[in-house]
Amino acid sequence: MKQILTAEQIDSTLERLYKAVTSQIPEDMPVAVVGIRTRGETIARRIVERLAKDKPKLHVDFGILDITFYRDDLSRKRGAPLVRATEIDFDIDGKWVLLIDDVLHTGRSIRAALDALSDFGRAEIIRLGVLIDRGGHELPIAADFVGKKRSVPTGQRIQIRLKENDDKEGAYIIKEEA
């Protein structure tokens, strides 16, 4: 396990992501920020909290998406860990929706998230923001807002740790189990 970002660097990466988002956030449309469980939820929550401070007039809905049921690799191999509820208690019809995840890799989680989102209504626009884009995309999916690009060879994966979930902050490269 190798650390690639320190807590301070996570901070500045998040800052870049936030700046990219705010530069394009529409003033004339209802906005919603939806985080993908678990780390995406935390990052989305931080963005929403900052938006509330910086743009007090802007109404922003906050939602959490659990994509387990939408994955294309649901199988008997892994058994069934606990699935948490999706919490989107607002109407997404006609909204500018910002989807947030921690790491963009194959794009399969995002595909699942787009499927899940469409079950909640028809968003006007969906944009994708990620903390780190590590490359290795397998689907025609790219992020609109990226905190940091860092290519990582196949067989390794990036793990983000955030204080809300893991007590400490940082980004690490770990070898994928075979």
Partner 1 sequence: MTKKVPISSRKKHKITDFVGGDVSERTTTQRIAALVPNPSPVEVTSGDDFVWTRKDLLGLDQLSPQEIVHILDTAETFREVSTRSIKKVPALRGKVVALLFFEDSTRTRMSFELAASRMSADTLLLTSKGSSISKGETTLDTIKNIEAMGVDVFVIRHGESGAAQMVAKQVTGSVINAGDGSHEHPTQALLDIFTIRQRLGRLAGLKVAIVGDIAHSRVARSNILGLRKLGAEVVVVGPPTLVPNKITAMGCSVSHSLDEVLGEVDAINMLRIQFERFGGGLFPSLAEYSKLFGMTSARLKRCKKDVLIMHPGPINRGVELTSEVADGPNSCILQQVTNGLAVRMAVLYLVSQGKID
Angle at 170 between CA 166 and CA 175, to 5 degrees: 90
Angle at 89 between CA 86 and CA 95, to 5 degrees: 105
Decide if residue 159 touches partner 1 (CB under 8 A): no
Q: Nearer Cβ to partner 1, position 87 or 144?
A: 87
72-78: long-range pairs with CB below 8 Å, 24+ = 72/108, 72/111, 72/112, 73/108
Decide if residue 124 touches partner 1 (CB under 8 A): no
Site string for partner 1, 83-112 (x = CB under 8 A): xxxxx-------------------------
Residues pairing with 3 in the sheet:
172
Q: CB within 8 A of 168, min separation 6: which ones?
A: 7, 161
Size of the site for partner 1 (CB under 8 A): 23
Q: Give dist(CA 94, CA 121) in Å, integer.
A: 9
Q: Cβ 73 to partner 1, closest distance in Å?
A: 12
Decide if residue 177 touches partner 1 (CB under 8 A): no
Decide if residue 79 touches partner 1 (CB under 8 A): yes
Q: Which stretch binds partner 1 (CB under 8 A): 29-37, 81-89, 127-135, 152-160?
A: 81-89
Q: Nearer Cβ to partner 1, position 8 or 119?
A: 119
- The answer to whether residues 60 and 48 touch, using CB atoms and an 8 Å cutoff, is yes
Please give the structure tokens belonging to residue 43.
């990052």
Decide if residue 144 touches partner 1 (CB under 8 A): no
Q: Cβ 74 to partner 1, closest distance in Å?
A: 6
Interaction site with partner 1 (CB under 8 A): 66, 68-70, 74-87, 115-116, 119-121
